[in-house]
Amino acid sequence: MARDAWDPQQLPDLTGRRYLVTGSNAGLGYFSCEQLVRAGARVVMTGRNPNRLSAARAALHRRVDEAEGRVETLILDTSNLGSVRAAAASAATSGPVHGVLLNAGITHPPKQRETTPDGIELVFATNALGHFGLAGELLLPLAKTGGRLVWLGSLSTTISPYDPVDPQLVEGYTAWRAYVQSKVATTSLGFEADRRLRAAGVSVSSLVAHPGYSIGGRTPGIQGVNQPSRLKRFADNLQGPMTQSKEHGAWPLVRALIDPDAEGGQFYGPQRLTRGAPQVARPSKITRDPEIAARLWEFCERTARVQWPFEKAAKVRRR
């Protein structure tokens, strides 16, 4: 499909493909699952809370006729490396994996620094490190299908281009800094993954996408998934000209995951920066710095105790 002919409401047929999405019980993750299933894919909806996950699965079944028999659920807490490993093992043994959308995230970090039971700063662990571990664990199944990884970036990395020299913010924690640093990390890791995959000859590509500025008060109300108060609807609608729904915010994520013409190392976002049709975009300068990316990669390897199996993945025969 020609790049300018992409219609996010008329996706290519995805029958026979299976995608895993982190943080699928709400927001962009939920709408990405809807769009994938409508196009014929199977999805593995994942989340950390079983009740919220079943509510989202029920909503997807209510809203999408094609969902019958195509939706799996899996508990996955991205802030917990044990949960990441268990979920990856389960997803890898229950079917092929054609793509992984590394979407889950803390978007409103705590005011004070918090750590996970593994002793890692919570926002970095949830948004970046858990996804680094998950992607590494799923590399072999992805190599079998010639699959894709899509990481979640953010415009905030242009507004405050923090160099994550101290990724866990042992010093100088603020909620904003923790969020932006985690997004510098996810974006840099996404590009670094693609460079390393190419260098190793692995048939997996890694891309990054951002949803512009997508907010719940401009998003359809869905029981168990998105139930904003009247006040939130009112406040969010005041920002109408520069915002969009999370349903539309999912468009660049889904395009990066499934567009047959998309390539590893690309960055997708809305046409009008914060809103609009999905297209190739320009990532912030700091996220394109290979030295920062290499430093983050090594930090993640050490902290998560995960080495991506590049050599093995390069030998995997595509099915």
Ligand X SMILES: NC(=O)c1ccc[n+]([C@@H]2O[C@H](COP(=O)([O-])OP(=O)(O)OC[C@H]3O[C@@H](n4cnc5c(N)ncnc54)[C@H](OP(=O)(O)O)[C@@H]3O)[C@@H](O)[C@H]2O)c1
276: left (phi over 0), alpha (psi -120 to 50) or beta: left
Of 57, 246, 255, 275, the one binding ligand X by CB under 6 A: 246
**Is 179 part of the annotated catalytic residue set?**
yes
Please state at what angle helix 246-258 crosses helix 27-38, rounded to 10 degrees: 60
State yes or no: is 144 an active-site residue. no
CB of residue 118 to ligand X, shortest distance in Å: 12
- Does residue 121 touch ligand X according to CB under 6 A? no
Catalytic residue among 19, 30, 173, 179: 179
Q: Is 33 in the site for ligand X (CB under 6 A)?
A: no
Minimum distance, C-beta of residue 76 to ligand X, in the bound complex (Å): 6
- Which residues 6+ apart lie within 8 Å of 121 measured at CB? 113, 114, 115, 167, 168, 169, 170, 173, 178
> Applying CB under 6 A, does 137 fall inside the site for ligand X?
no
- Report 205-224 residues binding ligand X (CB under 6 A): 210-211, 213-214
133 binds ligand X (CB under 6 A): no
For residues 6 and 36, is the Cβ–Cβ distance under 8 A? no
Answer yes or no: are the C-beta atoms of 214 and 246 closer than 8 Å.
yes
The residue count for binding ligand X (CB under 6 A) is: 30
* 103 sits near ligand X (criterion: CB under 6 A): yes
One residue of 106, 138, 262, 292 binding ligand X per CB under 6 A? 106
- Tokens matching residue 306: 């995960």
Catalytic residue among 19, 183, 246, 268: 183
Here the tokens at position 116 are 């996970």
42 vs 18: CA distance, rounded Å: 5
Closest CA to 127 of 67, 194, 187: 187
- Of residues 282 and 318, the one with the C-beta less far from ligand X: 282
Counting contacts by CB under 6 A, is residue 99 touching ligand X? Answer: no
Question: Applying CB under 6 A, does 157 fall inside the site for ligand X?
Answer: no
Q: Are 81 and 133 in contact (CB under 8 A)?
A: yes
**Secondary structure class of 221 (helix, strand, coil):** coil
CB of 104 to ligand X, least distance (A): 3
Is residue 52 near ligand X by the rule CB under 6 A? yes
**Distance, C-alpha 171 to centroid of its chain:** 27
- Residues carrying an active site annotation: 179, 183
Site residues, ligand X (CB under 6 A): 22-23, 25-29, 47-49, 52, 76-79, 103-107, 126-127, 152, 154, 210-211, 213-214, 246, 249
